[in-house]
Amino acid sequence: MKLRHSNVNSVQETLKECPSPLVLVPTMGALHGGHLALIRAAREMVGPQGTVAVSIFVNPTQFDRPEDLSSYPQPLEEDLALCEKEGVDIVFAPEIGTLYQPDHSVLVTESLLTKHLCGATRPGHFDGVLTIVLKLLNIFQPNFAIFGEKDFQQLALIRRMVRDLDAQTEIIGHPTVREADGLALSSRNRKLTPIHRADAPRIRRALLAAQSIHQTGEQKPQVYLDATRHHLSKDAPEDFRIDYLQLVDSESLQPLAKVTSRATLATACFFGPVRLIDNIQIRD
């Protein structure tokens, strides 16, 4: 069976020959250990007789900064080799023109869960995310699609889109995969300077410090936010800055007045031009 496909007709014809169940792992390439964990979880879900498909597509409509798109790593041949090594059955790696017509004019927009977190600081970003995910679900019609929980807001939005638009795919979240020092794996990590890479685990340490406050029974969100901000900022590099830091309800993603239900503390931080995100459950 041909591994790589670059057009919709080709991949759909191949899918007709593939056994169910089918699980899709959508990626933007530059595969790392986090992606490989998703692929391995996908294989475990469907077993040796099922089908694991991976999409590799750097989606232009979700980039709010042109320089971020132009500098995004695209080691396609390395990615294909990793997919083959992991036993992936199908890789869909299309060109931009395959998925977006020159005069495309329809995007998927969400109006509630995008009001905060990355949705507030990256206007239009999630329109692009939801649009490309829906296109991929339409193309593959998978039984399952699996996403990492590091992108906490993205996962919540995709689940809401599937619910509200009656898509017939079950969305699976996979726990964040981390380096030994706690830094969440990300394709952007390779863009960090050595100094920034050594310092970046401060994000995880700050979130863990805030999580420990819950053991005291504290219900005031500001206490968690102040503690996290302190740990994030203390002795940080000069070009470090916090993009956002919020404590929200884990399902609605709205800010909390009291920490009495499922709560997630989420942040995005810049090390120079490199933006990293992470989150932690405060109350499960």
- Where in the sequence numbering do the catalytic residues fall? 35
Q: Are 221 and 246 in contact (CB under 8 A)?
A: no
Q: Kindly give, in sequence order, each residue whose CB lies less than 8 Å from that of residue 223, ignoring residues fewer than 6 positions away.
A: 213
Q: One-letter amino acid identity for 149?
A: E
132 half-sphere exposure, CB direction, 13 A CA radius: 26
DSSP 229: H
Q: Are 27 and 91 in contact (CB under 8 A)?
A: no
Cα–Cα distance between 123 and 115 in angstroms, integer? 10
Q: Are 40 and 46 in contact (CB under 8 A)?
A: no
**Which residues are paired to 125 by β-bridges?**
none
E-strand stretches of the chain: 4-5, 22-27, 51-56, 90-92, 144-148, 170-174, 240-249, 263-271, 274-283
Residue 277 CB coordination number (10 Å) = 21
- For the CA atoms of 125, 130, 136, 137, the dihedral, rounded to the nearest 10 degrees, stands at 160
Question: Strand, helix or coil at 8?
Answer: helix
Pair of tokens at residue 146: 């699996």
Cα–Cα distance between 190 and 75 in angstroms, integer? 12
